[in-house]
């Protein structure tokens, strides 16, 4: 599987390179190319062993290295002459970066760094492609000068000979073992023992170690976290894609599969005529659209911020960090749960490998963990919301994506309930701000009672993560509302298309309202009749969207090769393809399986003999 994945990955990388030349001639930013063709990733169902090379290794060299270092390493990496990975996580640490144990000691006598993974727990563990594919890596280590810790630094480290691919002396490298999915990625481990690299192998765009050992701190230490921000932005787009693929499969299957008459004596309908089936499938279609739009927004913000950071303007970093965290968490959680819901909506056949829903789940699910474990990132956003609430209390302006928090904080009560889109959106935002206020009261009370900030964050963790989740809902729903209702190109849309978009907005807002009804009722009075009216509207909008479900998923434009699903094939010949896949199973090559003579027959005969004996 690994070699097949590498073969496919090389083909994908070549295609990406050609896309890059088309989108961005001579440039080195792969992102525009990716915008046009994420399908590349879907073509490698066991995962792409070059994805970390492309997404993190090349980008870290470009963004964290000096121009000279880019010329020495980055250009060769962009040209795929060397293949690298991003080796940060260790066997013993992944989340708590300040606890990383790998160390780099500066030797001013030779102007080198001596790299070590001092204990087993210090071994790098997980980096994609590290096991077998890569011959280089960005090695993230705690920097020491005269045995004094200076914080994290990144080092370009060659781990295998470029000709023979043999691990170099002092390098212990290999594959970490089978996973739930992505088994073509060869995630690996790496131990280094007294491994020396020249001083200029430390990436020094933002922080430097001078030949005499003097350390020049980065103006903004968090800029070293930037490679992770990019992948979090990519995850938002990638996972909305996985959800769209699963929604396409389940929708097509739901208009092929017939089961259970709705009226006695009537023929069995397509299962998508059942209201409960519509509630399983159609909201996931809409969620995929909602997150694809939010992810596109985030990517634009990333590109703008990356250019600013390149010019040493770090002002937009905090907002990008907060949004990248919130969207990475929301898209990975909602896509993972959504794909499982869509698998279940396909009944038994959804559990077949031929349906490919299990593999799409296995590709989507780890995004809840990598690039920042989701609940840790929610806590991170919770901390940022606490900081911003202090700004609100001090009457200061907030970053644009949090402006609604200031507006809601000035409301003494929620206005008369109308049930309009604006009302529903404001209700979600108002509940978010109420949750922020409550979390702040708990957090601040703890800090005032002499608890450290870290401890106060921990003990207020449940309220902080709730506030963070509602902030994510507010941002995503607000973005979707703006795109549908206030988009500058709204007039270019046909009335029919605009109506479909508005139905999707109606469904998204009502679905989020019901998902967080408890959080909303904590701060807003809504009568039983007003809630029942929303229930009726939910049932109505599902009915309205039912005729458009196939067209919307067709518009995702995944071809059969990408979906790789007997349930989601464009021609709808599901049963023929399921049967064709079944007949290909190795166990169907022989009428009598080998295990009959070896195991089953003796087992049955022994039981028959024992039964006869017991009768005598």
Ligand X SMILES: Cc1cc2nc3c(=O)[nH]c(=O)nc-3n(C[C@H](O)[C@H](O)[C@H](O)COP(=O)(O)OP(=O)(O)OC[C@H]3O[C@@H](n4cnc5c(N)ncnc54)[C@H](O)[C@@H]3O)c2cc1C
176 counts as binding ligand X under rule CB under 6 A: no
The number of residues in the chain equals 616
Residue 562 class from Cβ within 10 Å (0-12 exposed, 13-18 middle, 19+ buried)?
Answer: buried
Distant-in-sequence, close-in-space partners of 399: CB < 8 Å, separation ≥ 6: 318, 319, 322, 388
Q: How far is the CB of 374 from ligand LVRDPVV7 (least distance, A)?
A: 11
Q: Which is nearer to ligand LVRDPVV7, 128 or 568 (CB)?
A: 128
Which position among 6, 19, 42, 52 is part of the footprint of ligand LVRDPVV7 (CB under 6 A)?
52
SS3 per-residue string spanning 465-484: HHHHHHHHHHHHHHHHHHHH
> Is residue 29 within the footprint of ligand LVRDPVV7 (CB under 6 A)?
no
For β-strands 86-87 and 136-145, DSSP reports them as parallel
Residue 339 Cβ vs ligand X, minimum distance, rounded to whole Å: 16
Separation CA 76–CA 92 (nearest Å): 32
**Segment interacting with ligand LVRDPVV7, rule: CB under 6 A, options 68-76, 85-93, 494-502, 538-546:** 85-93
Q: 58 labelled as ligand-binding?
A: no
Partner from ligand LVRDPVV7, ligand X, none binding residue 229, C-beta < 5-8 Å depending on class: ligand LVRDPVV7
Q: Which of residues 331-370 bind ligand X (CB under 6 A)?
A: 366, 369-370
Partner residues linked to 107 by β-bridges: 112
Could you say whether residue 100 binds ligand LVRDPVV7 (CB under 6 A)?
no
CA–CA gap between residue 233 and residue 371 (Å, rounded): 10
Catalytic amino acids? 371
In this chain, which of 91, 114, 141, 231 binds ligand LVRDPVV7, going by CB under 6 A? 231
Q: Is 97 in the site for ligand LVRDPVV7 (CB under 6 A)?
A: yes
229 touching ligand X, by CB under 6 A:
no
In terms of CB distance, is 41 or 297 closer to ligand LVRDPVV7?
41
Asked if residue 85 binds ligand LVRDPVV7 (CB under 6 A), the reply is: no
Is residue 128 marked as binding? yes
Contacts of 166 (CB under 8 A, 6+ apart): 160
Q: Which of 6, 54, 368, 507 binds ligand LVRDPVV7 (CB under 6 A)?
A: 54
Burial of 337 (0-12, 13-18, 19+ CB in 10 A): middle
Minimal distance in Å, beta carbon 301 to ligand LVRDPVV7? 13
Q: If contact means CB under 5 to 8 A according to the sort of partner, which of ligand LVRDPVV7, ligand X, none does residue 182 touch?
A: ligand X
Q: Which of 318, 323, 460 is nearest to 391 (CA)?
A: 318
- 381/230 Cα distance (integer angstroms): 17
Residue from 552, 23, 477, 495 nearest 293 by CA: 477
375 contributes a contact to ligand X by CB under 6 A: yes
The angle at the Cα of 507, spanning 504 to 510, to the nearest 5 degrees, equals 145
Tell me the per-residue interface mask from 368 to 407 with ligand LVRDPVV7, x by CB under 6 A, - otherwise. Answer: --xxx---x---x---x-----------------------
Q: Whole-angstrom Cα distance, residue 48 to residue 29? A: 19
Select the residue interacting with ligand LVRDPVV7 from 64, 88, 201, 251 (CB under 6 A).
Answer: 88
- Asked whether position 175 contacts ligand X by CB under 6 A, the answer is no
The CB density around residue 39, as the number of other CB atoms within 10 Å, is 16
- Strands 195-198, 188-192: pairing is unpaired
- Output 250 or 439, the one with its CB closest to ligand X: 439
DSSP assigned state of 296: H
Residue with token string 């062993």: 49
Number of residues that bind ligand X (CB under 6 A): 23
- 131 touching ligand X, by CB under 6 A: no
Q: Which H or E element spans position 143?
A: strand 136-145
CB of 374 to ligand X, least distance (A): 7
Least distance CB 559 / ligand LVRDPVV7 (angstroms): 18
- Residue 171: name the closest of 184, 188, 186, 154 by CA: 188
* Rounded Cα distance, 56 and 520, in Å: 40
Residues 286-345 that bind ligand LVRDPVV7 (CB under 6 A): 317, 321
Q: How many CB atoms lie within 10 A of CB 389?
A: 23
**Out of ligand LVRDPVV7, ligand X, none, which partner does residue 184 contact, by CB within 5 to 8 A per kind?**
none
The residues that touch ligand LVRDPVV7, with contacts defined as CB under 6 A, are: 12-13, 16, 34, 38, 40-41, 48, 50-52, 54-55, 86, 88-89, 94-98, 128, 222, 225, 228-229, 231, 234-235, 238, 317, 321, 370-372, 376, 380, 384
The residues that touch ligand X, with contacts defined as CB under 6 A, are: 52, 85-89, 93-96, 126-128, 182, 187, 366, 369-370, 372-373, 375-376, 379
Binding-site annotation, residues: 89, 128
């Amino acid at each position: 599987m690994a070699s097949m994945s590498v073969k496919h990955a090389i083909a994908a990388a070549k295609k990406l390179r050609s896309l890059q030349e088309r989108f961005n001639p001579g440039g080195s930013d792969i992102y525009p190319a990716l915008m046009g063709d994420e399908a590349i990733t879907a073509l490698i169902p066991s995962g792409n062993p070059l994805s970390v090379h492309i997404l993190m290794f090349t980008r870290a060299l470009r963004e964290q290295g000096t121009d000279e270092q880019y010329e020495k390493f980055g250009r060769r990496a962009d040209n795929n002459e060397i293949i690298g990975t991003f080796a940060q996580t260790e066997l013993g640490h992944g989340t708590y970066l300040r606890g990383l144990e790998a160390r780099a000691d500066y030797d001013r006598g030779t102007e080198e760094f001596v790299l070590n993974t001092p204990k087993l727990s210090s071994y790098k563990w997980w980096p994609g492609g590290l096991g077998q594919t890569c011959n280089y890596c960005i090695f993230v280590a705690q920097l020491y000068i005269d045995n004094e810790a200076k914080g994290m630094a990144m080092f370009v480290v060659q781990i295998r000979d470029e000709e023979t691919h043999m691990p170099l002396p002092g390098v212990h490298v290999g594959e970490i073992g089978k996973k739930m999915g992505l088994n073509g990625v060869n995630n690996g481990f790496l131990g280094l023992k007294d491994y020396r690299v020249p001083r200029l192998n430390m990436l020094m765009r933002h922080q430097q170690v001078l030949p005499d050992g003097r350390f020049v701190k980065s103006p903004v230490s968090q800029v070293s976290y930037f490679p992770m921000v990019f992948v979090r932005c990519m995850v938002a787009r990638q996972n909305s894609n996985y959800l769209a693929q699963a929604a396409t499969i389940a929708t097509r299957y739901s208009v092929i599969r017939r089961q259970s008459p709705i009226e006695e004596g009537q023929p069995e309908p397509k299962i998508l005529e059942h209201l409960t089936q519509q509630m399983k499938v159609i909201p996931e279609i809409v969620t995929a659209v909602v997150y694809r739009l939010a992810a596109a927004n985030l990517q634009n913000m990333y590109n703008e911020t990356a250019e600013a950071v390149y010019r040493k303007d770090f002002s937009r970093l905090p907002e990008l960090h907060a949004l990248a965290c919130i969207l990475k968490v929301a898209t990975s959680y909602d896509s993972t749960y959504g794909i499982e819901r869509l698998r279940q909506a396909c009944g038994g056949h959804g559990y077949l490998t031929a349906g490919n829903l299990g593999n799409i789940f296995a590709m989507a699910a780890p995004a809840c963990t990598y690039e920042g474990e989701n609940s840790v990132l929610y806590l991170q956003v919770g901390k940022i919301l606490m900081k911003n609430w202090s700004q609100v209390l001090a009457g200061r302006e907030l970053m644009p994506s949090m402006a609604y928090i200031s507006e809601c904080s000035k409301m003494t009560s929620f206005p008369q309930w109308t049930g309009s889109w604006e009302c529903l959106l404001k209700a979600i935002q108002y509940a978010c701000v109420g949750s922020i206020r409550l979390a702040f009261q708990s957090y601040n009370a703890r800090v005032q009672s002499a608890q450290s900030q870290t401890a106060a964050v921990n003990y207020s963790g449940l309220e902080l993560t709730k506030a963070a989740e509602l902030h994510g809902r507010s941002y995503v729903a607000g973005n979707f509302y703006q795109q549908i209702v206030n988009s500058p190109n709204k007039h270019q849309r046909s009335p029919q298309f605009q109506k479909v978009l508005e139905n999707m907005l109606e469904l998204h807002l009502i679905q989020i309202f019901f998902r967080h009804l408890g959080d909303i009722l904590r701060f807003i009075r809504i009568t039983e009749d007003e809630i029942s009216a929303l229930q009726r509207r939910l049932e109505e909008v599902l009915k309205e969207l039912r005729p458009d479900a196939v067209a919307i998923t067709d518009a995702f434009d995944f071809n059969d090769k990408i979906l790789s699903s007997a349930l989601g094939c464009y021609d709808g010949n599901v049963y023929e393809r399921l049967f064709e896949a079944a007949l290909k199973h190795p166990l169907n090559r022989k009428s009598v399986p080998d295990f009959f003579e070896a195991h089953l027959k003796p087992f049955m005969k022994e039981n028959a003999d024992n039964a006869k004996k017991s009768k005598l």
